Chain A
């Protein structure tokens, strides 16, 4: 999850171990020391960049942190950048939830119905083999140059990740929980809400969180192909006229978008998986 360029994992790593680094490890190294080291590394890198730009490397190739900073400020002051950000945000805000929810729903349905899974599984796996960003131009043809073609690409990228994670969760789920609940007379929607969804929730959250960067990629790719506004459009346009600082501004905006979305998802995940995270702390005592 730390590397957004990795290809969609077909099988999530056990979420419990994968999601959060152990607190103990950090504390033992000294929280202060770690933070200091981080600041030093990032600060050092920015400083080196600032010095190198204009001295050793042409500024129009790499710009510089100070130029990027001022471009960012002026971009938002004009309202121009704000508009681009808003457009991209809308594409994601529509495409991502629809993609995630339908992916989760289909993954659940496949897990529940063997017939459905048997018929459609090879088809879905086949479709998954398509490099999905390659479909972006097609979406432009179908849905036009505006908002909806980008929503389509975002949807596509989000959907499969959520589908595969949820479906994996359904298959890995301990069937004995369902049997026991059935035996206790719990079935139907109550079974789904009280047993199945909680049982697969670690997988569902892994799906949601891995798909966040991909949703943003979807929006940007869509905007690269054909658009009149949006951060992707802004980046492409800026690069076209060698305003390198603005290219970086666009990248920073995207990065912040991904980080904010991931933080929100993490917060929700922590609350929803409270039962799991408490495991690590208290088991020592038990």
Chain B
């Protein structure tokens, strides 16, 4: 299914069921020396509903910038992003965003944080409570509803931060290295939980990471980005079946193939960087 178009020269007709189409997007930042610093160049992506996409690349390659553009936090310098048939202008309130740090609102309890995105106009009080408690259970945070974020461990705040973005069921969730600062075990547990939740809800997820194993383990497709200025180097299909066992991901069919492919690309990138 879903292919990611990345050849800017061909004006490929995009499949109509794409949720997000990134069309020739460039992003430049003003550096202090008044020079324009290119963060992203000619990004072309087409992402379909229900896909789990991971984006890998060396740090500073513009992965996070791409997410911020899709969320509408800042405008594209050129090109455009089409979200469900409409160009993104200003904040894109149809996406959920999980930032690098948990960024739970420290003055709200876990319950209030998770329910934050549930608009009181769209959800009745009862619906709201049901939804919140369902997702709190899903995240394994039952019993911690009245806790403040400062009272939670790193892994717990991460979970809360993720379900806060899931709870109002936006069609697309953007995740910016959400498991970065966690220890290896917690990380695996959370990856496992994320996959389980995703398999139930099947929202589209774009997940930025710099960890190749994580990228392969979670994704249907891995988007590989080059060092600054960020370009899309390749898109790797991950042929592993689902549901996956995160804890023994190395033994699953298709892992080695995808990982090897990815590593080859990266090795090439690294040797270019060294020269």
Contacts and interface: CB of A to CB of B under 8 A. Distances in A.
Nearest to B151: A282
A180 interface: yes
Given A184-B116, A184-B168, A282 B150 contact: yes
Interface of A, secondary structure class, is helix
User: Which bucket holds chain B's interface residue count?
Assistant: 20 to 34
B103 A278 contact: no
User: Which bucket holds chain A's interface residue count?
Assistant: 20 to 34
B65 to A, nearest CB: 14
Contact of A278 (B95, B105, B108, B148): B148
Interface string A268-283: 0000001110110011
Interface in A149-176: 174, 176
Contacts of B84: none
B119 interface: yes
Contacts, number: 67
Contacts of B3: none
A276 B93 contact: no
Nearest to B100: A176
B99 to A, nearest CB: 6
Interface string B89-116: 0011101110100010111100000001
A70 interface: no
Contact of B92 (A177, A180, A183, A199): A183
B83 to A, nearest CB: 13
B101 to A, nearest CB: 8
Nearest to B164: A184
B116 A183 contact: no
A184 B97 CA distance: 9
Contacts of A174: 103
Given A275-B107, A275-B148, A276-B107, 11 more contacts: A176-B99, A179-B91, A183-B97, A184-B93, A198-B107, A274-B148, A275-B149, A279-B148, A279-B150, A283-B151, A286-B152
